[in-house]
Amino acid sequence: MRTQVASRARSNVRVNREELSPVTFLERAGDAFATRVAVVDGERSFTYRQWRARARRLASALRREGLMKHDRVAFLALNSEPLLLAHFGVPQAGGVLVCINTRLSPDEIKYIIEHSGARIIFYSPELEPLLERVPPDVRRLDIHRDFEELLAMGSDEEPESWLEGEEEPISINYTSGTTGRPKGVVYTHRGAYLSAIAMLTEHRVTRDSVYLWTLPMFHCNGWTYPWALSAVGAKSVCIPRVDPAQAWGMFDEGGVTHFCGAPTVLVMLAHHPAAHPLPRPIRVMTGGAPPSPTIIAVMADLNIEIEHVYGLTESYGPYTINVPPPGAENLGPDERARLKARQGVAHMTGGFQRVVDEEMRDVPADGRTMGEVIYRGNLIMREYFRQPEATEQAFRGGWFHTGDIAVMHPDGQIELRDRKKDIIISGGENISTIEVEQAVVSHPAALECAVVAIPDDEWGEAPKAFVTLKPGKTATAEEIIAHCRERIAHFKCPKAVEFSELPKTSTGKIQKFVLREREWKGLEKRIN
What does the alpha-carbon distance between residue 311 and residue 215 come to, in Å, rounded to a whole number? 15
Check residue 95 and report its DSSP letter.
-
* pTM of this structure: 0.84
Residue type, 240: P
In this predicted structure, what is the pLDDT of residue 35? 98
The CATH architecture to which 424-519 belongs is 2-Layer Sandwich (3.30)
In 332-444, beta strands by DSSP E: 345-346, 351-356, 370-377, 383-384, 400-408, 414-419, 423-426, 429-432
Mean pLDDT of successive 10-residue segments in the chain (528 residues)?
39 82 98 98 98 98 98 98 98 98 92 97 98 97 96 97 97 73 94 98 97 96 98 98 95 96 86 95 88 82 95 96 90 86 94 96 92 96 97 97 92 84 80 82 88 90 93 94 93 95 67 87 77
What does the alpha-carbon distance between residue 520 and residue 528 come to, in Å, rounded to a whole number? 10
Residue type, 101: N
In this predicted structure, what is the pLDDT of residue 425? 86
Residue type, 423: I
Domain residue ranges in the chain: 2-241, 424-519
The full DSSP string for 259-305 is EEE-HHHHHHHHTSTT----SS-EEEEE-SSPPPHHHHHHHHHTTEE
In this predicted structure, what is the pLDDT of residue 1? 31
In this predicted structure, what is the pLDDT of residue 177? 46
Same fold, 2-241 and 424-519: no
Cβ atoms of 196 and 228 closer than 8 Å = yes
The CATH architecture to which 2-241 belongs is 3-Layer(aba) Sandwich (3.40)
